Structure 1
Amino acid sequence: MRVLGGAGGDDDVVQIKEASKSGEPFVITVNCPDKTGLACDVFRIILDFGLSIAKGDISTDGIWCYIVLWVIPHSTLLATSCSFLKDRLQSVCPPCSASFYLVQQPPRSSPEYLLKFCCLDRKGLLHDVTKVLSELELSIQKVKVTTTPDGRVLDLFFVTDNMELLHTRKRQDETCARLNNVLQDSCVSCELQLAGPEYECNQGITSLSPVLAEELFQCELSDNERRSQALSPDMTKLKRTNVIIDNSLSPAHTLIQIHCADHKGLLYDIMRTLKDMNIKISYGRFSPNTKGYRDLDIFIQQKDGKKILDSGKQSALCSRLKQEMLHPLRVMIASRGPDTELLVANPVELSGKGRPRVFYDVTYALKTLGICVFSAEVGRYSASAREWEVYRFLLDENCEFHLTSVAARNQIVDRVRRTLMGW
């Protein structure tokens, strides 16, 4: 079994033991100073790599944290990818130095770059480009895609580089070369540059109507709405989702016990919720998927280091966790004049980070359905006292689906949901 790690010091913060046999999980260990939300940051990166966590343990004394995760690799996860994964995980870990305990430095933001290219349109184009960017470790922040009357596509991708090398000519040339290789003769032009004032102009999205916004961002769902919108295979699994709080087992910690349907990014959804609510995790155990369900035991404290004894706070925590587990992503189809629009929305962390791989998964689902995208945009929207990342796709009607048909629309929404949730 090969181990990716260092010879000492900060290099030993993250270790990855590759599986000795095909199909067996990798073992990832993170051993570093603790910080609120560390588990969320770690799980977000693992989700960004398209990996699935089979089981895991988290333990911390408030000063030092130890995380062990058994991760199922996908077939394309090579040794080089593991090296990038190790670097990414290490980047969110606090430094192992005495100065860390005196002053915690805020995370450094990566510069945004504008990737602009023009090409001839074809089915699956948008996903093929997104796949290349993912393989290059480029994170998509904003997107603006437009189809011109002559059948050309003008794409604006605002990206950040997880490898922090996009300022170099070599990295820029590699990115354009990889895109040209995918686009081939259909590529008209490809440019890459540091994003200027135009980036600020593309932060938001085209305004949503009040009716559409209310349906997309509503907090509470009726049973009928959950049956049609909630991201779960069936209503039985919705009803069997339980969140229980117990203060009797530990003198210093509150225990949260969760039993719920499993989905891609479930542990990330739980951890980002706890992070945004300023909840500290002292110990957590995540059991393997059993018949489509997960069981989690998490010992937590409030920010002040005390148990959660107030019944109102307990109820609010349980309600928020259930909401984020049952409804982590919003997917719907609406009419924009004579056209058909697919909308996907997910809540943004208080840190400003959106859920990874959403654009990748949605474009993949549309590609498998043979649906072209006439235009697309990704931006931020404030609603229901929080910020959302909203993905809007205007669908091309020149496909095998009759987009005005209710059955066809339901099929598109179902495929997109299932792809996003890993079902």
Structure 2
Amino acid sequence: MGILSDDVVLIQLGNDPGQPSIITVNCPDKPGLGCDLCRIILEFGLCIIRGVLWVEPNSSSCRVDWESLKNRLLSVCPSCLVSYYFTQPSSNSSQPSLYLLKYCSVDRKGLLHDVTKTLCELEFTIQRVKVMTTPDGRVVDLFFITDGMELLHTKKRRDDTCELLMTVLGEYSISCELQLAGPEYESLQGFSSLPPAIAEELFYQLPDKEDCSQALSMQTMTVNMATITVDNHLSPAHTLLQIKCADQKGLFYDILRTSKDLNIRIAYGRISSSVKGYRNMDLFIQQTDGKKIVDPKQQTALCSHLKEEMLPPLRVIVTNRGPDTELLVANPVELSGKGRPRVFYDVTLALKMLGICIFSAEIGRHSTSERQWEVYRFLLDESPELPLASKQARNQIVERVRNTLMGW
């Protein structure tokens, strides 16, 4: 007998404004399920404050469609029927159709973020972007998007999207078109490799290869106030990871993403509330074969990878691109090919808060020897309030963008 779908995902809203909501998911397990669930929660502008799963909005302006969130969480849960264990993966794993949104408007400060915010509220995921400013002060935005609700094949969904965008931006709007993406997407799959000096600065890794070969069943490594303790004595069937680190938006997602890519199964865990900006987590883990992690080299590699995601994982720099000022943000990509949600939203929000206009923007992929990255490139317009040539202004941009991305 299967589990009723209404019982798979339960959402208990907070009784009063400001109180966290509680999400309970009860379904058969699958590799990477926790990562997939956390990714969807991030897409809806929510952060996990306790496990499992207390959530609250990342900002007071975040509006959550709870019914839609429930449906999205259900979509990544394995079939709740017993027959799930004897069948192949369902069609839910198929890639959603890619659409091209072409939007033209008169330029103004914050325009790109306002468009991005509307797309996020409509549950679109931005896959690629090409933003261009014409000499006459107009902006042409190309957004390659997928639809979390999978309704863009309907004329109503497409018309409603364009109508909403035209209404939100009012007098600045000129035109809006939405259609299936064609060959033009291939030209935006990537861009020329970054100059070596820029790539080295952007992807520079802090040293984290301490020799821990002396560790047998317990080891402790501390980097930048992040402490990971591996204990094989407390549980007869699981390795215990005890983590203390600075809190950041998407922290639990980053840990689950890393565990998923390393084929580590998290059986259960406890996440404490943030205290003075720090969190404690106890995670009981196993290898895919159901055994503990007893090899010191495997322990060291796991701790090393986890610490990289607490530095934080996203990289932000401001540099010169010829005579222009360029902001670059690097976002680590899962082995499944997905990058962290809402990065474009957060970066454009930070620039809007600083009063900086974006001359052009694009998203591409860059591969290093260890992983693939999603790289966001923004050419910035000179601002009277914040002269981009000054070191102080550039440091302020980096700090604001990083703090917005990390929820600090």
Q: TM-score range by the shorter chain?
A: over 0.9
Question: What's the CA shift for 1:219?
Answer: 2.9
Q: Is the 8 A contact 1:10 1:95 kept in 2?
A: no
Structure 2 equivalent of residue 242 of structure 1? 227
Matches within 5 A, 1:290-329: 290-329=275-314
- Secondary structure, aligned partner of 1:309: coil
Structure 2 equivalent of residue 193 of structure 1? 179
Q: Is the 8 A contact 2:224 2:311 kept in 1?
A: no
Matches within 5 A, 1:213-292: 213-221=199-207, 239-292=224-277
- Secondary structure, aligned partner of 2:26: strand
What are the Cα deviations for residues 262-287 of structure 1, in whole angstroms up to 9, with x where unaligned?
A: 01111111110000000011111111
Q: Is the 8 A contact 1:245 1:256 kept in 2?
A: yes
Q: Is the 8 A contact 1:119 1:189 kept in 2?
A: yes
For residue 185 of structure 1, what is the amino acid of its counterpart? E
- Secondary structure, aligned partner of 1:325: coil
What are the Cα deviations for residues 63-96 of structure 1, in whole angstroms up to 9, with x where unaligned?
A: xxxxx31112454566x70001101111110011
Aligned length: 391
For residue 53 of structure 2, what is the amino acid of its counterpart? L
How many angstroms apart in 1 are the aligned matches of 2:88 and 2:74?
16
For residue 277 of structure 1, what is the amino acid of its counterpart? L
Please point out which of 14, 36, 41 is paired with 1:41: 36
Q: Percent identity?
A: 64
Structure 2 equivalent of residue 5 of structure 1? none
How many angstroms apart in 2 are the aligned matches of 1:221 and 1:124?
38
What are the Cα deviations for residues 5-43 of structure 1, in whole angstroms up to 9, with x where unaligned?
A: xxx712321010111122211111000000111111111
Please point out which of 82, 90, 93 is paired with 2:77: 93
How many angstroms apart in 2 are the aligned matches of 1:136 and 1:174?
10
- Secondary structure, aligned partner of 2:27: strand
For residue 211 of structure 1, what is the amino acid of its counterpart? A
Structure 1 equivalent of residue 159 of structure 2? 173
Q: Is the 8 A contact 2:230 2:242 kept in 1?
A: yes
Q: Is the 8 A contact 2:28 2:78 kept in 1?
A: yes
Answer yes or no: is 1:388 the counterpart of 2:383.
no
How many angstroms apart in 2 are the aligned matches of 1:120 and 1:110?
31
Structure 2 equivalent of residue 61 of structure 1? none
For residue 374 of structure 1, what is the amino acid of its counterpart? F
Q: Is the 8 A contact 1:217 1:384 kept in 2?
A: no
What are the Cα deviations for residues 194-232 of structure 1, in whole angstroms up to 9, with x where unaligned?
A: 00111122111343111111221133359xxxxxxxxxx
- TM-score, length basis structure 1: 0.89
Please point out which of 128, 131, 147 is paired with 1:145: 131
- Change in Cα spacing, 1:365 to 1:76, as seen in structure 2 (3 Å) is closer
How many angstroms apart in 2 are the aligned matches of 1:102 and 1:121?
55
Structure 1 equivalent of residue 399 of structure 2? 414
- Change in Cα spacing, 1:398 to 1:292, as seen in structure 2 (3 Å) is closer
Question: What's the CA shift for 1:238?
Answer: 5.7
For residue 67 of structure 2, what is the amino acid of its counterpart? S
- Change in Cα spacing, 1:76 to 1:412, as seen in structure 2 (3 Å) is closer
Structure 1 equivalent of residue 46 of structure 2? 51
- Change in Cα spacing, 1:206 to 1:398, as seen in structure 2 (3 Å) is farther
How many angstroms apart in 1 are the aligned matches of 2:19 and 2:291?
39
How many angstroms apart in 1 are the aligned matches of 2:334 and 2:83?
28
- TM-score, length basis structure 2: 0.92
How many angstroms apart in 1 are the aligned matches of 2:137 and 2:158?
27
Q: Is the 8 A contact 1:218 1:384 kept in 2?
A: no
How many angstroms apart in 2 are the aligned matches of 1:203 and 1:221?
31
How many angstroms apart in 2 are the aligned matches of 1:133 and 1:171?
12
Structure 2 equivalent of residue 347 of structure 1? 332
- Secondary structure, aligned partner of 2:310: helix
What are the Cα deviations for residues 40-75 of structure 1, in whole angstroms up to 9, with x where unaligned?
A: 11111111111121211xxxxxxxxxxx31112454
Structure 2 equivalent of residue 82 of structure 1? 66
Answer yes or no: is 1:109 the counterpart of 2:95.
yes
Q: Is the 8 A contact 1:238 1:261 kept in 2?
A: no
Q: Is the 8 A contact 1:180 1:187 kept in 2?
A: yes
* Structure 1 alignment gaps of length 5 or more: 1-7, 57-67, 223-236
Q: Is the 8 A contact 1:245 1:254 kept in 2?
A: yes
Q: Is the 8 A contact 2:45 2:62 kept in 1?
A: no
Please point out which of 18, 25, 31 is paired with 1:23: 18
Q: Is the 8 A contact 1:371 1:399 kept in 2?
A: no
Structure 1 equivalent of residue 219 of structure 2? none
How many angstroms apart in 2 are the aligned matches of 1:399 and 1:312?
53
How many angstroms apart in 2 are the aligned matches of 1:338 and 1:221?
33
For residue 365 of structure 2, what is the amino acid of its counterpart? R
Q: Is the 8 A contact 1:262 1:289 kept in 2?
A: yes
- Secondary structure, aligned partner of 1:326: coil
- Secondary structure, aligned partner of 1:402: coil
How many angstroms apart in 1 are the aligned matches of 2:399 and 2:207?
18
- Change in Cα spacing, 1:16 to 1:387, as seen in structure 2 (3 Å) is same
Answer yes or no: is 1:156 the counterpart of 2:142.
yes
Answer yes or no: is 1:333 the counterpart of 2:318.
yes
- Secondary structure, aligned partner of 2:65: helix
- Change in Cα spacing, 1:87 to 1:77, as seen in structure 2 (3 Å) is farther
Q: What CA RMSD, in Å, does the superposition of the two structures yield over aligned residues?
A: 1.7
